[in-house]
Structure 1
Amino acid sequence: MATNPPKGDGHRIGAVRQRSQTQTPSGNWVKRNTTNGQFMDVKSDKTPFKGVRKEK
């Protein structure tokens, strides 16, 4: 019998492509498009985005 993975368990397989994230001076994490450098989204809590690489 086939065992399918659970739906909606909150994880992805592989990384988010063409995205990076950095931390603002206030401590929030902001997501950036790597092709044009435009900021896309800011998280309200102080945890980083899942599956998005961090800038150095």
Structure 2
Amino acid sequence: MAKNTGNGFRRGAVKNRSQVRTPSGWIKRDTRTGQFIDRKADAQPFKGVRKEQ
């Protein structure tokens, strides 16, 4: 399980999730179903979530 450290980074990876960059920002997606889960309001990517090509 991924844990937040409180120092701006996360220990471990978030499992069964990926993120993709779109013109409106970063979107988190479930890798098993392909459904979009969450969208970031700022331009920074999610912490500890793998990036798709």
TM-score (norm 1): 0.77
Comparing both structures, which one devotes a greater share of its residues to strand? 2
- Structure 1: gaps (5+ residues): 1-6
Q: 1:16 aligns with which of 14, 34, 46?
A: 14
Q: Following superposition, which runs of at least 4 residues in structure 1 exceed 4 angstroms of deviation?
A: none
Alignment RMSD (CA, Å): 1.3
How many residues get paired? 49
Residue identity in the other structure for 1:8:
G
TM-score (norm 2): 0.81
- Structure 2: gaps (5+ residues): none
